[in-house]
Structure 1
Amino acid sequence: MATGYIGRIRKRVGHMPLILNTAAGILLNDQHQVLLNLRTDSHNWSLPGGYMEFGETYAQTCVREYQEDSGVKVEIVRPLGLFDQGIFTYPNGDQVQTIDRLFLVRKVGGQLLSAETDETIRLDYFDFDDLPPLLNQQTEKMLAFAKENA
């Protein structure tokens, strides 16, 4: 989180808690399993997605971040909801509250990452009823919502 728009904000405000906009996608396989990524920062599982850059829309953020986190190019099928109670503390103590726009997405290209990156350790599909340890309660709420509405 040290580069880009968020990095520039952090240089100005230090470790002050921030409210940030994010976008994430629900990608389902043929077995109706959802793709999750194992994060390098927390070693918990989350939906591919991330922080908005200045000037982006939620949809643009979802598409860009999805490819960065997973290697998969997606397009937006439809919005699923807005979630605003996600609080996360990074290992360095930085705390954020995320306002997360969740989308149903479909694959249009690319392929799953085959090696670890600076943000993703691993990717896998999971049944909604058998999820791994998740990033936070907001991720749990988004997945519960998607289970019923995607």
Structure 2
Amino acid sequence: MEAIKMADYVHEIRKLVGHRPIILNTAAGILVNENGEVLLNERVDTHNWSLPGGYLEYGETYAQACVREYEEDSGVKVAIKARIDIFDVGDVHYPNGDVTQTISGLFLVEQVGGQLLQSKTDETLSLAYFPFNELPPLLNQQTADMLAAADKFMNARK
């Protein structure tokens, strides 16, 4: 099945439902540097921080979306090392009035190419690594829950 571009898909849904809450699927990755810090992206839309990732395109798997979205948001090409968990509690209130409950697949990833973006994009203001115990203002509680689960997951693997 051919993937439908998510921006078009979400736009079509929003034409039908307006700003009413909807459920969408997302995927995100945890990339940790040699200092044990996690890469986060500062978002253009909300001006807070989240994990590189985003909405699945129609017909795409969580893992495929994670790899694609990670590169779009950060410039870094990644490969999936492990699936951490699925997160389905929490919502996002966007500045334009849209409300979305996201069901997010979270993966531990490793860098296999690319490099960090050096300039702003339409989704990312900046990128930075942060210690798990010194995080900046996050997008929502689900992002905080994902980071806590990733920290616990990686500590259990040591």
Does the TM-score normalized on the shorter chain lie above 0.5?
yes
Show the 5 A alignment for 1:28-39. 28-39=32-43
Output the CA distance in 2 between the equivalents of 1:12 and 1:20: 15
What SS does the corresponding residue of 2:89 show, helix, strand or coil? strand
- Alignment of 1:84 with 2:88, yes or no, is yes
Output the CA distance in 1 between the equivalents of 2:90 and 2:116: 26
After alignment, is 39-48 or 4-13 more displaced? 4-13
Calculate the TM-score normalised by the size of structure 2. Answer: 0.92
Query: Which string of whole-angstrom CA distances, capped at 9 and with x for unpartnered residues, describes residues 89-139 of structure 1?
Result: 111111000000000000000000000000000000000010000000000
After alignment, is 12-21 or 50-59 more displaced? 12-21
Output the CA distance in 1 between the equivalents of 2:43 and 2:133: 21
Shift of 1:8: 1.9
Output the CA distance in 2 between the equivalents of 1:4 and 1:111: 28
Partner of 2:19: 15
Amino acid at match of 1:56: E
Show the 5 A alignment for 1:1-150. 3-150=7-154
Structure 1 segments (4+ residues) deviating >4 Å: none
Aligned residues: 149
What SS does the corresponding residue of 2:101 show, helix, strand or coil? strand
Calculate the TM-score normalised by the size of structure 1. Answer: 0.96
Output the CA distance in 2 between the equivalents of 1:97 and 1:6: 13
Q: Alpha carbon RMSD of aligned pairs, Å? A: 1.0
Amino acid at match of 1:15: H
Amino acid at match of 1:68: E
Output the CA distance in 1 between the equivalents of 2:72 and 2:90: 21
Shift of 1:15: 1.5
Shift of 1:9: 1.4
After alignment, is 126-135 or 4-13 more displaced? 4-13
Structure 2: 5+ residue stretches without partners: 1-5
